[in-house]
Amino acid sequence: MKVRFKRAWLAVALIAAASLGVTAANAQAATDPLFVFVPKPSSSPPFFPPPVGSLEGPCGMAVDPLGRFYVSDYYHDAVDIYDQNADYTAKGVNGATGFLGQVPGIDAIDGPCGLSIAGESLYANDYHRAVIRYQLSGTVSTITGATTPEETHPTGVTTDTATGNVYVDQRTHVSVYDESGAAVIDETDPLDPKPLQIGGGSLQDGYGIAFSQFPGTAGRLYLPDAATNTVKVYDTATPAAGPVQEIDGTETPNGKFVSLRDASVAVDRLTGEIYLIDNLQPKYAEQPQAIAYVFHPDGSYEGHLKFLVTWSMPVGLAVDNSETPSQGRVYVTSGNSSFGAIYAYGPGAATTAPIKLPTATLALASVGSGEGTIQSSLGESACSGSCEEELPAGASVTLTADPAPGSDFEGFSGACEGAAPECTVRIEDAASVRAAFSAPAPQAPQPGTAAPPPAATTGGAVASAKRHKAQRHHRRHHRKAHRHSPHGVKAPR
């Protein structure tokens, strides 16, 4: 049944594309998206995939030779195919708008992310588990991954459309397969032929991969390396050599890449521009924000796409390298939960306008008769009394209450509640949290015993009694001396 369904999809995939229509989006600024498409249900719940539901975890994109775009719907375990000519700016757009078909059932225990298309084959990177090949004939096969003897854990796939060769990012090297899916053999040493590898010894923790068809950089592979936070570039013509280029992000607004773990990368075949996704909030945020940078073929920084997107483990990214009127479009996905979106930008959409991560204010306060501090996992110092923190919107913050000596912690209230000394709260908008501390109550005296004087006043009472005694002695001495002095003259003291 799965194969028949896939054949039905593959038949749909042969439909010729109509000419690209002109929409209202074309009148927008060059840096604006052509459209932001959010597939959503018209009446059914969003938990189903398109065309009746929404995207959930869209972590891969690809464009076929006819310009149609493909999006991985990770949590629905499917790849959805859309017509690039549909009007995604019209009123009433839903998951059925432009929908052409679907590849379902990628992996019962996982789902698809990275995608690549060459000839009659669609390659899907089953997230960190395998690369699966789907053909027009209906054949499905595993190229590499956890279901094959070598037990590899690939993180990206790309293809050379001229030769049909498939390049798979294996994190510490790139494996190469021919169009039949067989490993390409390195025959440098005739006495010891073995599968060809690229980047071994220099690539440390690769995520994502792109093949360049641009004449000036043709045959180069672009691999984001999370261990060094650089993009390493290898030439397939010299597979034994190390990187021929590295992009380190020093020209970006942050002066570096923040996190290239589960990064995405793509190359425009006409301009040679390199598009790269950088996760700007790799820690703490439940829905981190990511940016799409744009680089010149020589590696120099050109700018970024206008809007941040929600990182979707990874973000789907593809350039339309077809020969249709939609060539040059850049597709970027957003959203790691329901109602994922697809942003489509036109060629030359890079901007250098500043982007500020959204923030939210967290107000903290210590209340009650006791004393103590509140430590935030994102704060630099403990808060005593009242204070405020500006945090990344969507960040998850762990608060720890620390009572002062002689005080007890009673509990949290507000956006964080409970009697435990630790509490985690996610800050979407402004929020406040109070930590109550109490001082121990004074002990009641035992029956039949006098209550001792307060500790703070005992010393003062004793000193006062001594002063009164000295004053009485002085007065008595003064009166006695006055009585025995002749003529009323005072006697010496």
Specify the CATH number for the domain of residue 403.
2.60.40.1140
Residue type for position 259: S
Residue 87 and residue 206 in one domain: yes
- pTM of the full structure: 0.77
Residue 134 and residue 281 in one domain: yes
Q: Which domain holds residue 288?
A: 2-15+26-345
Alpha-carbon torsion angle 452, 454, 460, 465, nearest 10: -30
Contact indicator for 124, 130 with CB cutoff of 8 Å: no
Q: Is the peptide bond before 49 cis (omega within 30 degrees of 0)?
A: no
The answer to the question of residue 454 being in a domain is no
Residue 291 and residue 416 in one domain: no
Residue 164 and residue 227 in one domain: yes
The answer to the question of residue 471 being in a domain is no
What single-letter DSSP state applies at residue 76?
G
Distance between CA atoms of residues 439 and 444, nearest Å: 15
The answer to the question of residue 37 being in a domain is yes
What single-letter DSSP state applies at residue 351?
B
Residue 323 and residue 182 in one domain: yes
The answer to the question of residue 373 being in a domain is yes
pLDDT at 264 (0 to 100): 98
Distance between CA atoms of residues 485 and 477, nearest Å: 13
Residue 59 and residue 109 in one domain: yes
Q: Which of 313, 345, 377 is where one domain is finished?
A: 345
pLDDT at 390 (0 to 100): 87
Residue 279 and residue 400 in one domain: no
pLDDT at 465 (0 to 100): 43
CATH code assigned at 205: 2.120.10.30
pLDDT at 138 (0 to 100): 86
Residue 322 and residue 387 in one domain: no
pLDDT at 97 (0 to 100): 96
Contact indicator for 222, 209 with CB cutoff of 8 Å: yes
Residue 46 phi, psi dihedral angles, 5° rounding: -80, 0
Contact indicator for 347, 89 with CB cutoff of 8 Å: no
The answer to the question of residue 448 being in a domain is no
Residue 190 and residue 269 in one domain: yes
Residue 290 and residue 424 in one domain: no
pLDDT at 4 (0 to 100): 30
Alpha-carbon torsion angle 24, 30, 32, 33, nearest 10: 70
pLDDT at 346 (0 to 100): 97
Q: What is the pLDDT along the chain (493 residues), one digit of tens a residue?
A: 233 333 333 433 333 333 333 344 445 789 999 999 999 987 767 778 899 999 999 999 999 999 999 999 999 999 999 999 999 999 999 999 999 999 999 988 899 999 999 988 999 999 999 999 999 888 899 999 876 656 688 999 999 999 999 999 999 999 999 988 899 999 887 888 899 999 999 999 999 999 999 999 999 999 999 999 999 999 999 999 999 999 999 999 999 999 999 999 999 999 999 999 999 988 777 789 999 999 999 999 999 999 999 999 899 999 999 999 999 999 999 998 889 999 999 999 999 999 888 788 999 999 999 999 999 988 777 898 999 988 877 788 899 999 999 999 999 999 999 999 999 998 878 899 999 999 987 766 666 655 555 544 444 444 444 444 444 444 444 443 433 333 333 333 3
The answer to the question of residue 443 being in a domain is no
Residue 303 and residue 432 in one domain: no
The answer to the question of residue 61 being in a domain is yes
Distance between CA atoms of residues 296 and 292, nearest Å: 14
In 3D space, the residue among 153, 131, 152, 127 whose CA is nearest the CA of residue 140 turns out to be 131
The answer to the question of residue 67 being in a domain is yes
Distance between CA atoms of residues 252 and 300, nearest Å: 9
Q: Which of 409, 438, 467 is where one domain is finished?
A: 438
Residue whose entry in the numeric block shows the structure tokens 């790139």: 174
Number of domains in the chain: 2
DSSP string for residues in 255-309: SS-S--TT--EEE-TTT--EEEEEES--SSBSS-EEEEEEE-TTS-EEEE-SS-E
Residue 224 and residue 283 in one domain: yes
Q: Which of 323, 345, 367 is where one domain is finished?
A: 345
